Amino acid sequence: MQYRNFGKLGWKPSALGFGVMRLPVLDNLPARIDESQASSMLHYAIDQGVNYLDTAYPYHRGQSEVFLGEALKGGYREKVKLATKLPSWMIETSTDFDRYFFEQLEKLQTDHIDFYLLHALKREWWDNLFQLGVLEWAEKKIAEGKIGYLGFSFHDTYPVFKDIVDAYDGWSFCQIQYNYMDIKYQAGKRGLKYAAEKGLGVVIMEPLRGGLLAKNPPPPAVAKHYDGMDVKRTPTDWALQWLWNQPEVSVVLSGMSTMAHVQENVESANQSGIGALREADHEFIVKIQRAYKDITPIPCTNCRYCVPCPGGIDIPTVFRIFNDTVMFEDLKHGKSQYHFLSEEHRADNCVECGSCEEKCPQGIAVIEWLKEAHAMLEDTNPRAEENAI
């Protein structure tokens, strides 16, 4: 296993981190983790040198932390650093901090959390936590030895990310969505570099964009570019190596569902290294990016000039989900992501006022695309992925 720097901390994380959010389940029910298979996967990863485990309060309908509490018995807890998250959107009063935290300690059967995150921060949730005194609360828990280091995971725009990083000198790390298709999305590459410059460890989530970049074979328009490469890698390995090539990346999380996933990702991590990719490899990734974008139906650049929408629609997110559905030929994933979007932000709230089309620098027929997106993605009985954040 290869090990990397974690910001200003002296501790070295494994290149690969285990995201405990997409474990194998029984009867297709997220809360019924296949404990035997999942434990074998987790123990194999740890035995191969993986030392960073990432979970959260809502994963597997609240059962991920429970599973880990049992699976880490027998000496495994001492071999790893454990990360879990405060459910930011569920916090109403300052008393909720302790309520959820001590429930998590009980579920995990531990007396401390090595890396504690404020989960899925966006502007409104961050403002609420800050006003309720979450930083002061966390500092007390750190002083008591209950929390090792404080960080946050993030889902908003780069300016919000920068504001949060700058708001507190005590951050040790952050967690961002980042992959070769999401270079400018949310925190993006600017956020990666800014956090690293500030001395924060940067944990990467969604390195495979929810598994979309792992499709093997990829769509035909993309697959043709693989044939000419002298280095043969799977789509998964290409995506992971692209991340590990960057020195600002501390650890890459993978939500693995089978033992084959674990074995493949461990082997990729063993071959990883900063600056390991050649110029030809970077050129290949650029070709793949362009090939995917060429089959994207809506030319949305996520400039967000169209929001706020008078009808409350999150137009850029709707378009992103629709584009991903077409680009990666995965309707099930698209419907799941669309269902996870709050009802007030979905496309059927369009009142056809036209203000979005007046502001769009790309000249997109926003109203018609919203109708088409909703028609494709609406599902009266979807099984939403509860691990989307």
**Residue 386, phi then psi, degrees to nearest 5:** -70, -10
Residues in CB range of 122: below 8 A, 6 or more apart: 154, 155, 156, 160
pLDDT, tens digit only, all 389 positions of the chain: 999 999 999 999 999 999 999 999 999 899 999 999 999 999 999 999 999 999 999 999 999 999 999 999 999 999 999 999 999 999 999 999 999 999 999 999 999 999 999 999 999 999 999 999 999 999 999 999 999 999 999 999 999 999 999 999 999 999 999 999 999 989 999 999 999 999 999 999 999 988 889 988 898 999 999 988 999 999 999 999 999 999 999 999 999 999 999 999 999 999 999 999 999 999 999 999 999 989 889 988 888 889 999 999 999 999 999 999 998 888 998 999 999 898 999 999 999 999 999 988 888 999 999 999 999 999 754 444 444 45
Q: Which residues contact 360 (CB under 8 A, 6 or more apart)?
A: 305, 306, 366
pLDDT at 54: 98
Cα 178 from chain centre? 7
> Which pLDDT value is given to residue 387?
45
Q: What is the pLDDT of residue 340?
A: 86
Compute CA distances 152 → 6, 12, 140, 386, whole Å.
Answer: 14, 19, 17, 19
Q: How far apart are CA 365 and CA 356, in angstroms?
A: 9
- Examine residue 217 and say whether the peptide bond preceding it is cis (omega within 30 degrees of 0): yes
pLDDT at 380: 53
208: left (phi over 0), alpha (psi -120 to 50) or beta: alpha
Domain edges within the chain: 16-285, 296-389
3-class secondary structure, 248: coil
Enumerate the β-bridge partners of residue 174.
Answer: 152, 202
Pairing mode of beta strands 173-177, 81-86:
unpaired
Please tell me the total number of residues recorded for the chain in this structure: 389
H or E segment to which residue 138 belongs: helix 134-143
Coil/strand/helix, residue 113: strand
Give 220-223's long-range contacts (Cβ < 8 A, gap of 24+).
221/291, 221/294, 221/295, 222/288, 222/291, 222/292, 222/295
Q: Topology of domain 16-285, per CATH?
A: TIM Barrel (3.20.20)
Tokens 């919000």 map to which residue?
160
CA 285 to CA 324: how far, in whole Å?
Answer: 18
Those residues with Cβ within 8 angstroms of residue 162's Cβ, 6 or more apart along the chain or in another chain: 191, 194
